[in-house]
Structure 1
């Protein structure tokens, strides 16, 4: 009865770390997007009940509240920050949707933000060793970094180097073509004059990708390793957000909307975190009463080509439907924002298409977790 809907999905350009947004803190990236979404829903006359933002590598504290204040939403608007690692932005939207569905809120702004450029550098107090990331699992469990884990996943799932490079070339080719056609323009909120994603490269073709050396293999082990810098994402800065509200309010606003049909989180082997999106998607599809072949649109975080291909194989997806305008390999992967970026991309694709089939957004997460959401167009 209270199916939540997503409206006014927007994102910043995605900047490669150390480039366009090198001086922008994470709240400085989130604020312009929140302000743009708030402006889009302001004609409803309703107060924003809350702001929910995902973030995993920021300075700590409550990013959502800081960004809401910086966006000029008013001191009466609260905020809460979510950390489910690379799935944080998608989980933030899920939490907002649950509150709308439960009648605990009518209008929530939700999404995610990340600034790899300004992420603080910390050290462990006992050893002085640099703190690289939070543990994905406690002692006694596998806790691989995502790159080496993607290499192992490629072996376990039989995803070849050639297939990974072909996927990476596809990502760049499709993203640069979409960028040239202005496909991304309406969803992007310019930040201090920056209005375009800076990572996609038309020159990143198969011949160039073949020259990249394995990034995580033992250099003394000939032929080992298939994951390279070329078939992986880049460290990135960016933010994405949308309004989560009711169908009635969306109709009052006259805004096109996506209905949240089902969501799920799941967990599995922390040694193979790149596969986490698959059980989450399976669960979301089951809750929606759908089979994978009934999907018309799919966005899966392209942290590594090996990872997205293994998930696609596990779900039996039509690869043509996945990230049809390119994904994180070409656009970049602003960790805590990436799940929300998937929804921005789904909204743009689904609302522009003459195709009523539902869409899937899914992320694999460090530690072996996954998160997924099924959305459908509101007539």
Structure 2
């Protein structure tokens, strides 16, 4: 079996819906990332795999590859596993490399909520089960797993503080490809007193609820992808491997509780690979809602010091199809800052009750 390694990772800035990226369609967002990742190795790329959730439909990956002037031989595959789509694209590329189907893939995701043609979301679950919106489902998770408003607000505050500190220290600079003269995420364009905003926020989805707009992610635009290839090909091209794809797991839970779905995926993944929570140095778990992060970390007994150490979607944003790739990109750069880190996990829960977790090993110098 071939080793699959990630050698490059880039993302755009993240914009709010109808914000700084509102004029860019998905293929216009993704194309600069694909172009940057493929510089000098265009002829080596077997395929481009992108996640996309809210449209415009069609094969966004092929359109993006053509927009990026990649060789016509790069076909393009677009997939949708809701919020897990970008991570699923990387997972699929990892297995394709391991299985010998190809040596070199660009994988990630893109989302333009600003230009989406869909007025309503797709169904997550059939009527006979029930189909709650994600905000209501976050309330269900908070209630079932006893996650209080105070716990959620404390975590949201931590996410904002971590993200702002990372931004001010320039820690996001390497992962961002400037786009349309934009080099920082829209959330950082204006400093605000987030603790006051968090404490004063009203329940957003349920009367007397605990989930608010301030302890939840926003609706966002952005693109993110990685260059993943066989370790042999990386050596041939003199590209340094940073993360080695080890294994992954995808599981399903009741559609009322998508926020808890990463728990079963992470447990099964670590059990199969003979690893414990203590042996994982870093976790990136998508912050769609603070109730989700608190429920997952409590159930798995993950120290919060290991989770989303540079902030996450609550602070920076959640461009659905790209978010899973952003988790991997964050790990890609973080293991370079933490040379003692060995095993890391990216995980995400999606509408419909799907949990996806991917295990990587940091490649030592």
**What TM-score, normalized by structure 2, do the two folds share?**
0.96
Do the aligned residues in 2 keep the contact of 1:288 with 1:374 (CA within 8 Å)?
A: no
Question: Over aligned residues, Cα RMSD in angstroms?
Answer: 1.3
1:169 to 136, 157, 171: 157
CA distance in 1, matches of 2:337, 2:235: 18
Q: Residue in 1 aligned with 2:280?
A: 295
Q: Residue in 2 aligned with 1:238?
A: 222
CA distance in 1, matches of 2:210, 2:60: 37
Do the aligned residues in 2 keep the contact of 1:300 with 1:362 (CA within 8 Å)?
A: yes
The number of residues matched between the two structures is: 362
**3-state SS in 2 of match to 1:186:** coil
Post-superposition offset of 1:206 = 2.7
Q: Residue in 2 aligned with 1:330?
A: 315
- Aligned pair 1:314/2:299, yes or no? yes
- Aligned pair 1:227/2:216, yes or no? no
1:268 to 230, 253, 262: 253
Do the aligned residues in 2 keep the contact of 1:250 with 1:257 (CA within 8 Å)?
A: no
Q: Residue in 2 aligned with 1:205?
A: 194
Do the aligned residues in 2 keep the contact of 1:256 with 1:351 (CA within 8 Å)?
A: no
Do the aligned residues in 2 keep the contact of 1:262 with 1:285 (CA within 8 Å)?
A: no
Q: Residue in 2 aligned with 1:184?
A: 172
2:142 to 134, 154, 157: 154
CA distance in 2, matches of 1:287, 1:38: 34
Cα deviation digits, residues 45-70 of structure 1 (max 9, x gap) = 75210000000101100000000000
Any unmatched runs of 5+ in structure 2? Answer: none
Post-superposition offset of 1:104 = 0.4
Q: Residue in 2 aligned with 1:6?
A: 6
CA distance in 1, matches of 2:171, 2:107: 23
Q: Residue in 2 aligned with 1:117?
A: 114
Q: Residue in 2 aligned with 1:15?
A: 15
- Aligned pair 1:248/2:229, yes or no? no
1:195 to 166, 183, 197: 183
Moved over 4 A (4+): none
CA distance in 1, matches of 2:297, 2:69: 41
CA distance in 2, matches of 1:212, 1:142: 28
